[in-house]
Amino acid sequence: MTELKLTQTESTPFVFFQKNGILEISGKVIPNSDIDFWTPISSWFNGYLENPAANTVFRLRIDYLNTSSSKEILHMLYRLNELKDRGYSASVQWEYNDGDFDMLEVGRDYEHMVKVPFEFLVLSENPCM
């Protein structure tokens, strides 16, 4: 399995999924075509789950996301529960901009829906620009 690296655009985030277990999504998540954007990500992620690293860290630095993308991310978070159930270590690093309480609330909502531990990190600058 190779890494998955997608360049950030005005409507899609930077995506960098590595077979060593570091999975990162950062930026705006409002793709014009959900199917075109999410299909390669879901495909890579499903393959990764078949032979995961001992420790998976899902880093999310999201400035904004639409409803369909929120569902896709939640689906991946649910799938991380499966790793925990199989004895692997999995966690989420939810990074949000200082003062962006909407994105903090989104992260807190996700945290309550899954059993994977979350770490919330406040960013003093916007790294997604």
pLDDT at 129: 47
Per-residue pLDDT of the chain (129 residues; tens, 9 = 90+): 799 999 999 999 999 999 999 999 999 999 999 999 999 999 999 999 999 999 999 999 999 999 999 999 999 999 999 999 999 999 999 999 999 999 999 999 999 999 999 999 999 864 554
pLDDT at 1: 78
pLDDT at 124: 85
What one-letter code names the amino acid at 76?
M
pLDDT at 25: 98
Nearest to 103 by CA among 55, 69, 57: 69
The model's pTM is 0.92
The beta-strand segments (E) located in 32-114 are 55-65, 89-97
For the chain, which domains are there? 4-123 (3.30.750)
Contact in structure between 19 and 53 (CB atoms under 8 Å) = yes
Please give the C-alpha separations between residue 7 and each of 24, 25, 79, 98, 103, in angstroms, as whole numbers: 12, 11, 24, 24, 22
- Cα R_g (the chain), whole angstroms: 14
CA distance 107 to 88: 22
